[in-house]
Amino acid sequence: MSLSPGFKAVFYKYEMDDSEDFSQSTFYSVKYRRAGATGTASGIVEPTLSISPEEGVVQDGTIWGVDLTVSNYTLELSGFFKPQISGIYTFHLNKIDDGAMVWLGQGAFLCCLPSAIPSNSVNDRIMWVTKPYQDDSLSETVSVYLDADTYYPMRIVYINIISFSILDFSIEDPDGTLITDFSDYIWQATDLSALRKSCSSTTASLVSTSSSTTTTTLGWTGTDTTTTTFTTTVTSVKTPYELDVVEVLTPQYTTTTTEPWTDP
């Protein structure tokens, strides 16, 4: 099987200061392609951008060898993510300006067919961050359980609507190593048919935290708050794993109504 490392990057037009499309989840899923591509790049192993165009002015520039308007554009990054070990991976979108959405699995693109995006892909996203106008840049973190030696379709759609352009994407592996260089993790395949046996077309299993611990708060009829910790095995994935559960039982109060009673 012939593989090459890195994301494939495709740039699309985006109307400057258009905050309407930018705020619509369906635009990120597939509608951005209707604007038309302006250029492509390959072998992108560090999906990080930090550009400071002049405020409020359409400005041309170059990103990864592609000439475009750096003040306003849409970027699509795609490839197959191959975990080296099984376990919980924590995805980070850091200081995003202006918006980004991430898919892993079936919502990214059809397995072994990167050019085809499912029409309902917006429902399968694992992350979405949009920066409110004139607010500080935003960040988001999500954890997923992944199986080693499986090729997961991955897609990132990033939008810069005006001026500053900031994209900072990284993944923390189960051993706590932060991945910022994806040379050994993101792949392109020239023979897509060879991927069919090891390509995962399902959505990765979301977990609550990177520490594989989840906390559940339940109401109960007792008068005190009690905490119980136990371990359960998650079997809904190819490689089952143990999840520590902290169950907190809190009093569930009831309302008593007292009515006057008259002796007949």
Q: What share of the chain is helix, strand, coil (3-state, %, to 5)?
A: 10, 50, 45
Domain positions in the chain are: 3-207, 213-251
pTM, to two decimals: 0.76
Name beta bridge partners: 186.
81
Q: Residue length, the chain?
A: 264
Query: Is beta strand 99-104 parallel, antiparallel or unpaired with respect to 125-130?
Result: antiparallel
Q: Is residue 128 within 8 Å of residue 101, measured between CB atoms?
A: yes
Q: Give per-residue pLDDT as tens, 173-206.
A: 999 999 999 999 999 987 666 666 556 555 555 6
- 3-207 belongs to which CATH class? mainly beta
With 0-12 / 13-18 / 19 or more C-beta atoms within 10 angstroms meaning exposed / middle / buried, residue 118 is middle
Supply the pLDDT for residue 214. Answer: 42
Query: What integer is the mean pLDDT of 126-136?
Result: 78
Q: Which of 221, 228, 214 is nearest to 250 (CA)?
A: 221
Question: Residue 117 — pLDDT band, cuts 50, 70, 90?
Answer: confident
Supply the pLDDT for residue 31. Answer: 92
Question: Residue 260 — pLDDT band, cuts 50, 70, 90?
Answer: very low
Supply the pLDDT for residue 230. Answer: 52
Three-state secondary-structure class, residue 32: helix
